[in-house]
Amino acid sequence: MPKTVPTENQKDEIRRKVQHEFPGSKVLQDIHYYRYIKEIEWRDMSSDEIARDIRKGAESFRKRVKNRI
């Protein structure tokens, strides 16, 4: 199944949630915001689809890091 796209309302709700859970820690807020967004995106995906999505994201990250060096 394709990724579920989080709505703007869901994103706003998640942002408020992580700000409440981790006040004063922007790094932890960002990490958990990303985690909650991924939970929504992966909700209806199979484990194989999730693994492919992770590999795709990792490859994209590697390319960005390599281009900086």
**Tens digit of pLDDT at every position of the chain (69 positions):** 888 999 999 999 999 999 999 999 999 999 999 999 999 999 999 999 999 999 999 999 999 998 886
pTM tops 0.95: no
| Structure confidence at residue 42 (pLDDT) | 96
Are 38 and 45 contacting, i.e. CB atoms less than 8 angstroms apart?
A: no
| Structure confidence at residue 67 (pLDDT) | 87
The tokens of 49 are what? 């689809």
